[in-house]
Amino acid sequence: MTRSEFVALLSALFTDRQQHEVDAAVHTIFQHLAQELGKGKRVELRGLGSFGTRQHTAHVGRNPRTGEAVKVGEKYVPYFRAGKELKERVNRRNHGMNQHCVSELPSLSEPH
Amino acid sequence: MGTITRADLVELLQKENGFSRQEAVDFLEQMLELFIQTLEREDSLKLSGFGTFGVRSKATRVGRNPLTGEEALISARCVPFFRPSRFLREEVNRKRKEKGTSA
């Protein structure tokens, strides 16, 4: 689903405002989150999860295609850690009910 | 350093988008619910300039209790993932590069 599809669905739920206002609000939120993560802040949204940055030290990596060694400088990497509710709902709903996910599972699975 | 929470986003929507407090609270509530529902349906969510959220299925595997070292079977499951966009990955490094000693 793209952002515009998400906004269309959201504006059907949130009828107080017009679609372009809903779009602007979604934009405000994610732009703000990106900015604050850029400043090194953490974001914690109960139910959804938390965002933050991790510092990766400089290391020698490899170009996966050529196998060549490449120096990778120290850098910050954004991460997302799913919250309890998101994890549980994604797993409950999909595992066992959704054919797509189940079809990807190897046949040896079973223990629950 | 402070952590951004729901309350900060409510304030932000009031300030930037002219929402009333109640509107902002409702909006966030509905947005986060739709967000979770989207992933529940195993659809991915692409937010340009931020990243992509999606669901991956994991096969059964043998794990270890980190506390006791005991082996345990971890059942197959679906887990949410996030892949930050190029923009976000750059944003996170942009300002801090300057002051650090980083290469």
Which residue ranges make up each domain of chain B? 1-41, 44-103
Q: How many contacts (CB atoms, under 8 Å) link A and B?
A: 192
Could you say which DSSP state residue A58 is in?
A: -
Count of Cβ atoms closer than 10 Å to residue B88 Cβ = 24
Residue entry with tokens 């994610």: A30
> Has the ipTM of the complex gone over 0.90?
no
Please provide residue B78's backbone torsions phi and psi, each rounded to the nearest 5 degrees: -110, 130
Residue A35 CA to residue A48 CA, distance in Å, equals: 19
What's residue A100's pLDDT? 46
| Cβ-based contacts of A3 with chain B (< 8 Å) | 46-48
Q: What is the largest CA-CA distance in chain B?
A: 55
* pLDDT, chain B, mean: 89
User: In b/e form, how buried is each residue of B23-62, taking b as 16+ CB within 10 angstroms?
Assistant: bbbbbbebbbebbbebbbebeebbbeebbebbbebbebee
Q: Are A89 and B34 in contact (CB under 8 A)?
A: no
Contact A111 B75 (CB under 8 A): yes
Interface test with chain B among A21, A70, A93, by most B beta carbons within 10 Å: A93
Per-residue pLDDT, averaged over B24-42, amounts to 94
pLDDT band at B97 (very low <50, low <70, confident <90, very high): low
| Cβ-based contacts of A46 with chain B (< 8 Å) | 5-6
User: B44-103 — its CATH code?
Assistant: 4.10.520.10
Would residue A67 be called left, alpha or beta, if left means φ above 0 and alpha means ψ between -120 and 50 degrees?
left
What's residue A75's pLDDT? 92
pLDDT over threshold 90, residue A104: no
Task: Note the pLDDT tens digit of each residue in B56-85.
Answer: 988 899 999 888 889 988 888 899 999 999
Count of Cβ atoms closer than 10 Å to residue B95 Cβ = 14
Task: Note the pLDDT tens digit of each residue in A46-75.
Answer: 889 999 999 999 999 999 899 899 999 899
What's residue A92's pLDDT? 82
| Cβ-based contacts of A19 with chain B (< 8 Å) | none
What's residue B46's pLDDT? 95
